[in-house]
Amino acid sequence: MTYFTNNLTAEEERLRALGPDRVLIAEFAGDRPEIVCLCGSTRFPDAFREATLRETLAGRIVVSIGCNMRTDTEVFGAMSETDLREVKIRLDELHKRKIDLADRVQVLNVGGYVGDSTRSEIEYACSLGKPVSYLEPAAEQGDEVAR
């Protein structure tokens, strides 16, 4: 099993080149940093990695996906369709608990894509009064189309 990768984005390469004594993390005011929950399709793992880096260096606590049913085949590859559906339901519910913890939600709507699970998470966050922002401009909040 591989847990780490050397496939770095250009921004990650730039930060690595600065060296550990040159990477500055933003300061925060208050008792704790802001908590941001990343939501979006797991078909865009690079967007999650880049947003995690960006938000962390901005001094925020990031909660995000913990696994990817599309790529973590060593865990999910041998499961039946029924078991996969059950796991997906549980992961979707777990992500809503992460939204409970967050101060705001950042939607990673790469190319404007928002699927059913993400749409459900947006609706849930809005029902709690959590601020929701988008990586890319949404046509109209709440009206994104799954493609």
Do the Cβ atoms of 46 and 108 come closer than 8 Å? no
Domains of the chain (ranges; CATH) run 22-134 (3.40.50.450)
- Binned at pLDDT 50, 70 and 90, residue 9 comes out as low
What is the pTM (predicted TM-score) of this model? 0.74
pLDDT at 11: 57
pLDDT, one tens digit per residue, over 57-103 is 999 999 999 887 666 566 667 778 888 888 889 989 999 999 999 99
Report CA dihedral (138, 140, 141, 147) to the nearest 10 degrees. Answer: -60
Closest Cα to residue 79, out of 67, 69, 65, 92?
Answer: 69
Q: List alpha helices for the chain, DSSP H.
A: 10-18, 45-57, 73-76, 81-101, 116-127
What would the pLDDT profile of 106-124 be if each residue is shown by its tens digit?
Answer: 999 999 999 999 999 999 9
